[in-house]
Amino acid sequence: MTVGVRLDEAAWGLLHQAMDVYQHDARAVARLRHQVARLEQPLRIAVAGPWRAGKSTVLNALMGEEVAPVEGADGVFTWYEDGPSPHATAYPVGQPPQELTVVKSATGMRVDLGWRVGEVRDIVVRWPTRALRQVTFIDTPALAAVDEQGHAPVLDRVLRDSDAVLFLSRDGRDSDLRVLESARDSVVGQAAPVNVIMVLSRADEVGGGRIDGLLTARQLARRHHRDPRVGALAVNVVACSGAIGLAGRMLSEADFAALATLAGASRAELEAHLLSADRFVRGELPVHLDPEVRAGLLDRFGLFGIRLATTLVRGGFDTRVTLSAELIRRSGLTELRESMTRCFVDRRDTLKARSALAAVEALVRAEPVRGADELVAAIEQILAGAHEFRELRLLVALRNARLGFDAELAAEAQRLVGGDGVGLAARLGVEHEATVQRLWEVAADAQWRWRDRAEDPLLPLAQRRGAEVVVRSCEGMLAELAAGGR
């Protein structure tokens, strides 16, 4: 749905232009070739965050299986790619790649790294799963706090190697935001924060394990999202309890049976035993449950998860499938996946083009040669000219409420430029199965209204410019509809 030059073509052209400029530098050419190849590969999404933010848990929850982390792989980037059979390869520094043994388990797999820490930089795990068809996940080491020079080496590599980032934070505290801010010093990086979703992980721990903790976490996420400082860093903020989500996705019949047994006890009786983890494992439960089963439940669900699950079972989610679905929904995992689809997967081309631009910019900065200025100019031209980036910039401006649109208009503009998803239906705010005729009508109407706004001399310039971008998006949609697409 693009009018004018396509962004991915522009990125491809830029990479080849850069290859011409750097033709005498074999290393640079290799890097650029790698970038060209990346344009065709699945989208790379890195899961990054500070120490014990729940990176591997969120990753497992997204894949629906227990595959992360690789045992003993501290400080290693672990790549999860789609593959025909389970397979793991370690890439030690300065040594040939080494196959690792993969042990399949009931709930996923275990990879053990027989290496000493520090020698291995990357582990590539191939794992046949649907979740990896379109994306490659990267499990990253803990982000350290920003050092004196304002650098965060791990985050730099994360941003270099991935197209999009799930930034995990327990509570979105200042020091976490500072780490993320430190990475925004390039032209491409400043253009639009489109590649980061902030995840308030461990949402189940909010409110000290109260039963409404996840709801509160969701409110917190919304509050963060409205915060201009966060809005400048992340395209969306989602509260998600990786642990509950994973437990929901992997809910086995045995677990369900145990939970159902627990739910069978009276609420008051059970409550006393769910006061603390110790009491739950060691106490005398009113119903019979093996201590090992209890420990297993506690390990997978956490105390909060057990409280939530028993409440849900009592509340009518009394089959494994419904309970699983409700747990996943409540954990925020559904929202996270939707958000990822909307912000990352649907914008795959934009994100990849962005990575390519960033890579060329980094190269030009690191090794300025003759003709590099033209490359920088080309990058800026693409950033300024590509309608996708203009839409993204408008989105950021709308989020920061810089333009001064009232809330309703801002919401509509946001929807039209793809803030709620880039599909035609999502942009136009109509039901999924609407006819082409209806889409056309809505799009044309939106175009007229926003054109009026763009040409209204009474409005401030910034608002008129914003409206122009919206008009352009509407025109694009109409063009796509005219071409017969949906």
Q: Which residues are near another protein by CB under 8 A?
A: 51-52, 145, 170-171, 173, 175, 202, 205-209, 213, 216-217, 219-220, 223, 275-281, 295, 298-299, 302-304
CA dihedral 12, 18, 21, 27 (to 10 degrees): -120
300 versus 472: smaller Cβ distance to another protein: 300
Residues 6+ apart with CB under 8 A from 132: 42, 63, 80, 81, 82
Q: Which of residues 298 and 345 has its CB atom nearest to another protein in the complex?
A: 298
Q: How far is the CB of 390 from another protein (least distance, A)?
A: 34
Q: What's the closest the beta carbon of residue 415 comes to another protein, in angstroms?
A: 28
For helices 253-264 and 291-314, what crossing angle results, to 10°?
70
Say if residues 314 and 274 touch (Cβ distance below 8 Å).
no
Cβ distance to another protein smaller for residue 168 or 206:
206
Compute the least distance from the CB of residue 58 to another protein, in Å. 15
- In the numeric block, the tokens 């030690």 are attached to 92
Nearer to another protein, 96 or 208 (CB): 208
**Region for residue 332 given its phi and psi (left: phi exceeds 0; alpha: psi -120 to 50; beta: otherwise):** left
Minimum separation from the CB atom of position 129 to another protein (A)? 29
Q: 209 or 429, CB closer to another protein?
A: 209
Q: How far apart are CA 68 and CA 61, in angstroms?
A: 10
Cβ at position 172, least distance to another protein in Å: 8
CA dist list (Å): 209 to 76, 260, 274, 275: 32, 20, 11, 10
Q: Which is nearer to another protein, 280 or 344 (CB)?
A: 280
Structure tokens at 280: 């739950």
Query: In the complex, what is the shortest distance from the CB of residue 323 to another protein, in angstroms, rounded to a whole number?
Result: 22
Number of Cβ within a 10 Å radius of residue 416: 26
**1 in Cβ contact with 350 (< 8 Å):** no
Alpha-carbon distances of 342 from 214, 226, 335, 415, 472, rounded to whole Å: 22, 19, 10, 12, 20
